[in-house]
Amino acid sequence: MTELQCDVVIIGAGATGLTIATDLQKAGLSAIVVEARDRVGGRLRTETVDGAVLELGGQWVSPDQQALIAMLDELGLETFARFRDGESVYVDDTGSATRFTGDLFPTSEETQNEIERLIALLSALTAEVDPSEPWNHPRATELDAESFEAWLERNSADAEARANVALFVAEAMLTKPAHSFSVLQALLMASSAGGFGHLVDADFILDRRVVGGLQRVPVLLAERLGDGLHLSQPARSVEYADDGVVVTTDDLVVRARRAVVAVPPNLYGRIGFSPALPPVRQQMHQHLSLGLVIKVHAVYPTPFWRDAGLSGTAFSPFQVAHEAYDNSGHGEGTGTLVAFVAGETADRMLALTAAERERTILESLAAYFGDEALSPTVYFESDWVSEEWTGGAYAASFDLGGLVRWGAHLRSPVGPIRFASSDIAGEGYQHVDGAIRIGHEVAAELARDLRGAGL
């Protein structure tokens, strides 16, 4: 075992952990990052698959994500707009495809009005929720006890309107069925993104991409860290007392004044804490889980949908792939579609053989874009649930009642240990922006804390 010493040891080299380490170094403190994988970036990953460069995890940047945008500027990274010229496609419950423009799905006028009414109700509620402490909303207990599905049923008799509004939060964001999370959890998701209106506006929320891929952020941060980063070193145990911690990996023993656990909360249980974490945390961790989504890339010789006047954007709460977008790379001649399969539909897909799943998902793409979609030259699925050091996607959320019962403990330190990740961020929750925001916050708190302690 190699013994190392530093001011702060950080577990996890995702966007969160690397932001913290970079800030601490800027503040004149020493930081060591231990990372389980043999690469940095966690849920950010760019890979070349059969010659196609694909972003398998997080990729889009929206205008409200100011912490991420500032980081891109600092690192000198350029962005490009998602291709969106032309008409979008909506497929209804009979399988019939309709072209449309704007945000409002081309349902009957009655259903459109109902969707707008529900969005207005949810927007008003969202405006009352502070993303950094949703549990302090005056009606938090009531809002956290009712499922999002039950709330929609109580507020609308129109099943198609309910399915469409549920889609924006359930399949598209938390990637869990709408009956499994609370209205308060849905409102947190919306308020952390700047308002419910942003969730329903694909042009806003999926605005731009980074040239070279969003994983460039952690890769460039890691380059700055130099030998403070240790790959293929899963933290196995954290022993702690008031004055310090010892983090042990397979090859390292790192002694530090403070530690940050910068991994998604579903993985806290993989680390042996000694003494054991307080009971309230042990309980809380069991009620936070990642959602499930399969991100599918299909690459074609050309972006054929554009010739038909289509943008590549498509939605349907009734299709296996509930949303799809043009995901062609920067300056590439080939055309790439990205599609998402979430929640219980993803359960059904993962129970199929790989060949059956590919055929079923491509048929869903064909329902939007025609039979040409059935024959990509490259097809690739990333589900993240199969990744030992992630376990799902996009990020963690509480089950019913969890936000009120445990939310206030999410970011509270335990002795010298702090917790940070996009999954427990307020603003920017579930996004890279949240990872960077919570990273800056935790690093600033640690710098104050360590200076106060005269270290």
State the binding site for substrate.
340
42 binds ligand FDA (CB under 6 A): yes
Segment interacting with ligand FDA (CB under 6 A) among 38-46, 84-92, 306-314, 347-355: 38-46
Distance CA 363, CA 345 (A): 14
Nearer to ligand FDA, 135 or 429 (CB): 429
* Interhelix angle 109-127/183-192, nearest 10 degrees: 80
By C-alpha distance, which of 8, 441, 26, 447 is closest to 224? 26
Size of the site for ligand FDA (CB under 6 A): 40
Q: Does 422 bind ligand FDA (CB under 6 A)?
A: yes
Among 15, 54, 200, 222, binds ligand FDA (CB under 6 A): 15
- Which DSSP string do the residues of 134-185 spell out, in sequence order? GGGSTTHHHHHHSBHHHHHHHH-S-HHHHHHHHHHHIIIII-S-TTSSBHHH
Whether the upstream peptide bond of residue 325 has omega within 30° of 0, thus cis, is: no
Applying CB under 6 A, among 13, 173, 200, 225 the residue interacting with ligand FDA is: 13
Helix (H, G, I), strand (E, B) or coil at 316: coil
72 token code pair: 């891109």
Under 8 Å between Cβ of 262 and 269? no
Nearest to 19 by CA among 7, 29, 10: 10
The yes or no reply on residue 421 touching ligand FDA (CB under 6 A) is yes
User: 273 to 302, contacts with ligand FDA by CB under 6 A?
Assistant: 295
Residues belonging to the binding site are 16, 35-36, 340
Options 25, 46, 58, 364; binder of ligand FDA; rule CB under 6 A? 58
Instruction: Write the binding mask 424 to 443 for ligand FDA: x where contact by CB under 6 A, - elsewhere.
Output: ------xxxx-x--------
Contact residue for ligand FDA among 60, 83, 318, 368 (CB under 6 A): 60
Handedness of CA 396, 399, 403, 407 (dihedral sign): negative
Considering only 59, 132, 215, 319, the residue that binds ligand FDA (CB under 6 A) is 59
Q: Give residues in contact with ligand FDA (CB under 6 A).
A: 11-17, 34-37, 42-44, 57-60, 234-235, 262-264, 267, 270-271, 295, 384, 389-390, 393-395, 421-422, 430-433, 435
